[in-house]
Structure 1
Amino acid sequence: MNNHLSLKFTFVILLFWTLNIAKGFSQEKKWSKDSLLTWNDFKGTVDPASGVSAMTYCGVKFRYRYFVSANDSTYTAKFIVYSFFTPERSWSMVERQCPPLLNHEQVHFDISEYFARVLRTALETAQYTKNIKDEIMSIFKKYDSEREKMGLLYDEQTNHGTKVDVQKKWDLFVGKILSNNTPWQQVQNDEIMLKGF
């Protein structure tokens, strides 16, 4: 029997790590260490009832195709995973724009980038069966939940960036895990994730 892998079909899925369901947007900005956010990137309509001075709409997309061996015994997949920022859904109150607030929003984007890397590693190292689509979704849901928890903890501990000393600790923390590609299991044991300030 021919055991060469053959492309059974391509399944493309766009998943958004955001608090709301993303609906047709015209442009996006991919995360890059050489292209930080500026206030010009925040083009959405201000929500005065939100209780915050700015809102960053960012998340992670991935798509994949999977391959099945001729005898249906081996399932493998190739993935493209990246974090994105949507200008039209991100906004800021012009009168409150300042470098510290912009930095706070950038770190939200950085957290998305960290989880894009975590998700990519998890997807690429997993073993798959004939239930590959469900297995991929299970991996996504796991890290989607963890990303949301980190984002909420970040805002809670920094009070949306207004606690300057705590914000600096988060700046260093997120910068470290990005530069080192720190495994998620190790990040979970970090003091900033366990104790707060």
Structure 2
Amino acid sequence: MHRWKHLEWEDFQGFVKPFTGWGAGISSSVFVEYDSIQKKYSAYAAMNNQYSWKSRYVLNSDYVLNHEQYHFNITEYHARKLNGIFENKDFGHESQVMYELLRIRSDLYRMQIKYDAETDHSLNRAYQKKWEYQIDSLLNKSEDYPLFPEKEKVELYFPEKPKTLILTIDHEKYSGYILEKYDATFWIVDLEIFSNDTLSIESFAAQILANAGQTDIFLNRNLPHQNSIFESYSKDTLKNEIVLDKFLLGKNTTFWLKYKYPNERENREIFQVIGDQFFGSYRMLDE
């Protein structure tokens, strides 16, 4: 048994299921232990190595291993849910603990089935990325990633910790944060400009996008966010990506938010949902 961790193919030690068409399978569940000193129950996620298996055809496939990792991540999420129940409720009898454990395991089973069904066991790449985004969001929803802590405090939801970004525009360097995952790119950059003349910022923003090689730039004049001064939809023809840009006023600066995703008509709705959540999470903390 292994508790929740970053998986390696060596963790899969069971026999391959006969007549299966899939490359691997993980056996994981939520378990409960009791600390007799602190007199409290706690839940944890673990995999059974002997019942987790892989085909020799997938040993070099990081993609398939990643799919199994997210099965394990779903199990970890449900273990955390059960720990939340333990922290907020007193249990006078072991049967009550077992009831909650069985209920969580039932929810876990349904979510695992739905994950495989919607991703077609990882064969549907767009849905695979959507599920990765959802699962990361569930695991990290309580994480706080401070943005621009020395300046204006901004809240913007990233499903995992972003990297520091240094962007060069016309030989000037600007700081920000970037996350490249799920076949998409998310970023926020402090442009260090502020003006009551928003038309000048619009002109600057449009020039940035054009110089970046984006084409078919469509401006959105119906700005849903109260801080928005410029929003656009465009295409990166070199990378075949859809690019959404929003320029939002802070109290003393302008922030540039960008979201890029594959230009695939059949999967556009999936990536738009992710983008809406990203942009919709922006707010100034001292407002």
TM score, norm. by length of structure 1: 0.66
Structure 1 residues 141 and 156, CA gap change in structure 2 (3 angstroms): same
Per-residue deviation at 1:143? 1.2
- Given candidates 69, 77, 80, the residue that maps to 1:114 is 77
Larger Cα Rg: Structure 1 or Structure 2?
2
Question: What is the alpha-carbon distance in structure 2 between the residues aligned to residue 139 and residue 77 of structure 1?
Answer: 18
Greater shift, 150-159 or 79-88, is seen at 79-88
- What runs of 5+ residues in structure 1 fail to find an aligned partner? 1-27, 68-75, 183-191, 193-197
Structure with more of its chain in helix, by fraction: 1
Aligned match of 2:131: 170
Equivalent position of 1:85 in the other structure: 47
For normalisation by structure 2, the TM-score amounts to 0.46
Give the C-alpha shift of residue 180 in structure 1. Answer: 1.5
Residue 66 of structure 1: how far off its partner (Å): 7.2
Distance 1:170 1:79 in 2: 30
2:232 match:
none
Q: Distance in 2 between matches of 1:181 and 1:115?
A: 15
Distance 2:40 2:123 in 1: 42
Pairs aligned (count): 143
In structure 1, the residue matched to 2:119 is: 158
- Deviations 1:84-129 (CA, angstroms, capped at 9, x unpaired): 1222221111113411111100000000100110011112312334
CA distance in 2, matches of 1:63, 1:103: 28
Task: State whether residues 44 and 90 of structure 1, in contact with CA within 8 Å, keep that contact through their aligned partners in structure 2.
Answer: yes
Matching residue of 2:107: 146
1:65, distance to aligned residue in structure 2 (A) = 5.5
- Counterparts in 2 of 1:95-134, with a 5 A limit? 95-97=57-59, 98-129=61-92, 132-134=93-95
8 Å Cα contact 2:30/2:105 also seen in 1: no
Supply the distance in 2 between the matched residues of 1:85 and 1:178 (Cα, whole angstroms): 18
Whole-Å separation in 2 of the counterparts to 1:141 and 1:156 = 23
**Structure 1 letter corresponding to 2:68:** E
CA distance in 2, matches of 1:147, 1:168: 20
1:56 partnered with 2:26: yes
| Residue 2 of structure 2 corresponds to residue 29 of structure 1 | yes
Secondary structure in 1 aligned to 2:121? Answer: coil
Q: Per-residue deviation at 1:77?
A: 4.7
With over 3 angstroms needed to count, the CA separation of the structure-2 counterparts of 1:59 and 1:79, relative to structure 1, is same
CA contact (8 A) 2:13 2:50 kept: yes
- For structure 2, the 5+ residue unaligned runs are 144-269, 271-287
1:78, 1:62 → 2: CA distance? 10
The structure richer in strand per residue is 2
Separation (CA, whole Å) in 2 of partners of 1:87 and 1:103:
16
3-state SS of paired residue (1:50)? coil
Structure 1 residues 150 and 89, CA, compared in 2 at 3 Å: closer, same or farther?
Answer: same
State the percentage of identical aligned residues.
Answer: 30
Residue 31 of structure 1 aligns with an amino acid whose one-letter code is: W
RMSD between superposed Cα atoms in Å: 2.2
Structure 1 residue 134, shift from structure 2 partner: 2.0
On the 8 A contact 1:123/1:139 being kept in 2, the answer is: no
Farther-moved stretch of structure 1 (49-58 vs 156-165): 49-58
What residue number does 1:195 align with? none
Please tell me whether the aligned partners of residues 28 and 45 of structure 2 are also in contact (alpha carbons under 8 angstroms): yes
Moved over 4 A (4+): none
Higher relative contact order (CA 8 A, sep 6+): 1
Q: Counterpart in 2 of 1:21? A: none
